[in-house]
Structure 1
């Protein structure tokens, strides 16, 4: 880990990245891509030492809105246990009456459950969680340093019981690895049980760019001997890597979600995530 001093903490659309880099070790992570200009080792987490001070200043000035995090790097990395930058941010978000949404794979989010409930009562919270495989052993290969799917589904259920809405990212679906009908149906079953509000799934497949491609292929050689050659032969250096089962699996996805009243249109879900409610019981700041 290393510290940097930042000039700002919120993007124009209220996105927030307290950390840059991740130690979850997901073999497919797009954030390793060179396009993001990360000039340090991905596992050497960059911590914005003045982020909490910056966030307070920016929340005071900005109109009430949803604050989002996790699109670049999971905010609930193990380092967060000790630094508590996410928790300190949540305290400010609650104090100044903003909403909160994040994307994570970690059950560490439950540490902040009571605070999330308070924010949700005052404004709005939506927790987004990534699910890729119902196979626990495969999950430990694809996402080795974070809780497995079984635990994430438990987290989704706990959030449901706490009145906090959830959205699942059903991606990436890796060709010849987790792109099976059985896997997709089992994951959708978990989502139904947890009563998720929506599921984001653009297509069945993944994206590969320089930086992420090299790491992904290294892990294919390590865990799936011979599969790298199949990828190279079939997809070359393409950015979009579609599953050969995409058409069939997307039909299953749309059919199951529609029948169970789960939002499946990405545009509609993103609109829901960004929509900030005007609750009559929001307290005034002193």
Structure 2
């Protein structure tokens, strides 16, 4: 871990990254790609020390809208457990009347359930959770340093119990590893049971480019001997790595989600995530954020 000072914290579309780098250890992570210009080791997480000061200033200037995080780095990495930058950001988001959405694989988000409920009462919260495999043992290989799929499903159920909508990212689906009808069907079962609002799935496959390709192949050699050579033979240096079962699995995905009334169009889901509700709540709901 190391600290840095930032000049801004919100992007033009209200995206926020309090941390840069990650320790979850997911073998397929695109954020390792050299295209992002990270000038430090990926696991040496950069902490934007002045991020909450910047966030307060920027929220005061912007119209009420959804604030999003997690596109590049899971906000609920283990460091957050004691640094509490995300919790601090949630207090500000609540105080100034904004909405919140994040992408995570971690059950640490339940620590902040009190704040998420308050924000959702006042404006809107949507929690996005990544699910790649229904097999906890395989999950421990693909995503070794974060809670297993069964625990993430418990998180989805806990959020549903308090009325916080959820969206699942069904990706990546790795050829010859988790690209089976049994796996996709079980994940969809989980989504139905936990009443998810939408599931984002572009295609069944993954993407590889310089930086994450090398790490992914290193991990294939470690856990799936011989599979790297199969990937190289079939895909070469392609960016898109589609599953040979893509059509069959996408047909399964589209039919099941349509039958269950779950949103399955990425553009439609992204519109839903960005939409800020017009609610007329008073500024105080018997809860006053402290410390900021």
CA–CA separation in structure 2 for the residues paired with 1:282 and 1:56: 20
Question: Could you tell me how far apart the structure 1 residues matched to 2:136 and 2:85 are?
Answer: 30
Equivalent-residue separation in structure 2 for 1:282 and 1:30 (angstroms): 42
- Write the distance in 2 (CA, Å) between the matches of 1:96 and 1:217: 45
1:135 aligns with 2:135: yes
Residues 1:2 and 2:25 aligned together: no
Question: Any idea what the Cα deviations from partners look like across 1:173-198, whole Å, max 9, x if unmatched?
Answer: 00000000000000000000000000
Following TM superposition, by how much is the alpha carbon of 1:34 offset from its aligned partner in structure 2, in angstroms? Answer: 0.1
1:49 equivalent in structure 2: 49
The within-5 A match list for 1:189-228 is 189-228=189-228
Q: Deviation of residue 69 (structure 1)? A: 0.1
SS at structure 1 position matched to 2:103: strand
DSSP-derived class of the 1:281 partner: coil
Provide TM-score, normalisation by structure 1. Answer: 0.99
Deviations 1:136-171 (A, max 9, x none): 110000000000000000000000001100000000
Name the CA distance, whole Å, in 2 between partners of 1:92 and 1:130: 26
What is the Cα deviation at residue 280 of structure 1?
Answer: 1.5
| SS at structure 1 position matched to 2:54 | helix
SS of the residue corresponding to residue 121 of structure 2 reads helix
SS at match of 1:133: coil
1:120 aligned partner: 120
Match of residue 80 from structure 1? 80
Structure 2 unaligned runs (5+)?
A: 285-292
Q: Distance in 2 between matches of 1:153 and 1:32?
A: 26
Q: Is 1:279 aligned with 2:272?
A: no
Q: Which residue of structure 2 lines up, in the alignment, with residue 236 of structure 1?
A: 236
User: CA deviation digits over 1:201-226, x for unaligned, max 9?
Assistant: 00000000100000000000000000
CA contact (8 A) 1:21 1:42 kept: yes
Task: Say whether the 8 Å CA contact 1:97–1:282 is kept in structure 2.
Answer: no
TM-score by length of 2: 0.97
Contact 1:123 1:282 in 2 (8 A): no
How many residue pairs are counted as aligned between the two chains? 286
SS at match of 2:283: coil
Aligned residue for 1:168, secondary structure, equals: strand
> Which residue number corresponds to residue 34 of structure 1?
34
1:254-276 CA deviation, whole Å, 9 max, x = no partner? 00000000000000000000000
Which whole-Å CA distance do the structure 2 matches of 1:166 and 1:42 have between them? Answer: 28
Q: Where does residue 288 of structure 2 map in the other structure?
A: none
Deviation of 1:19 after TM superposition, in Å, equals: 0.2
How big is the alpha-carbon RMSD for the aligned residues of Structure 1 and Structure 2?
1.1
Q: Structure 1: which 5+ runs fail to align?
A: none
Deviation, structure 1 residue 283: 2.2
Aligned 8 A contact 1:107 1:147 in 2: yes
Moved over 4 A (4+): none
SS at match of 2:133: coil
Q: Hey, what's the Cα distance between the residues in 1 that align with 2:96 and 2:217?
A: 45
Q: Which residue pairs with 1:261 in the alignment?
A: 261
